[in-house]
């Protein structure tokens, strides 16, 4: 059943009756998105949060100098959106793009509000989701402030091996906050050291 993976994602944190599952899934919109297509662009209102059933997406933003920074990757079983603009229904600061052909379930803001009001146990689910996202970002801050680029790269590969396989070096570089040229030199130095 198509809903298996998203339901097991949810029931990892809260338990649902059959009816509750039905109600929850009735709020979802299934979508297939082509590689390189955008779910969201800067300035648009961010209407939905997306669960990745399969494929891979990426959220990024572009600063005043045109520099791109990758905010997050989302592979199978991850949730992704421009959270700040989604919850406050403000114009998006981010782009969300499919980096692989992907299948996703979208939950619109009004549907989420309805879900939270009619089934309060989903408050717990999203509390835990937010809690995990928060602690993950906090760790990332500390690492970006205290570790040199090479160690940040090592940690990324260790922590997200499956993501590292699916994205380009340029995208990893923009996630780590370094230039693609510099990531290339880092990798060259690593293999040099490895050979000697």
Applying CB under 8 A, the residues found at the interface with a copy of itself are 61, 63, 67, 69, 71, 83-84, 87, 116, 120-121, 123-124, 126-127, 130-131, 133-135, 137-142, 144-147, 176-177
Closer to DNA by Cβ: residue 47 or 58? 58
Q: Which residues bind DNA (CB under 7 A)?
A: 67, 148-150, 168-170, 177-185, 187-188
Closest CA to 72 of 41, 94, 100: 94
Rank residues 6 and 85 by Cβ distance to a copy of itself and give the closer one: 85
Q: Kindly report the backbone phi and psi dihedral angles of residue 70, in degrees, each rounded to the nearest multiple of 5, phi listed first.
A: -80, 125
Query: Cα–Cα–Cα angle for 15, 75, 151, nearest 5°?
Result: 115
Nearer to a copy of itself, 93 or 103 (CB): 93
d(CA 99, CA 40): 13
Q: Which of a copy of itself, DNA, none does residue 190 bind to, with CB < 5 to 8 Å depending on kind?
A: none
Tell me if 103 sits within 8 A of 170, measured CB to CB: no
SS3 38: strand
From a copy of itself, DNA, none, which one binds at residue 10 (CB under 5 to 8 Å depending on kind)? none
**Crossing angle of helices 149-159/169-176, nearest 10°?**
120
Residue 121 touches which member of a copy of itself, DNA, none, C-beta under 5-8 Å by kind: a copy of itself
């Amino acid at each position: 059943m198509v809903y298996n993976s998203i339901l097991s994602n949810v029931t990892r944190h809260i338990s649902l009756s059959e009816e509750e599952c039905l109600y929850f899934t009735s709020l979802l919109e299934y979508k297939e998105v082509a590689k390189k297509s955008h779910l969201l662009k800067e300035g648009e209102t961010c209407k939905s949060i997306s669960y990745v059933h399969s494929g891979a997406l990426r959220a990024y933003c572009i600063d005043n100098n045109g520099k791109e920074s990758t905010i997050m990757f989302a592979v199978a079983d991850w949730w992704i959106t421009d959270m700040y603009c989604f919850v406050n229904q403000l114009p998006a600061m981010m782009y969300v793009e499919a980096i692989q052909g992907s299948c996703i379930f979208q939950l619109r803001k009004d549907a989420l509000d309805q879900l939270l009001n009619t089934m309060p146990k989903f408050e717990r689910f999203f509390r835990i989701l937010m809690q995990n996202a928060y602690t993950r970002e906090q760790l990332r801050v500390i690492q970006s402030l205290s570790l040199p680029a090479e160690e940040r790269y090592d940690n990324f590969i260790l922590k997200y091996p499956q993501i590292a396989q699916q994205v380009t070096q340029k995208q990893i570089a923009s996630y780590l906050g370094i230039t693609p040229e510099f990531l290339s030199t880092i990798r060259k130095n690593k293999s040099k050291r490895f050979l000697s």
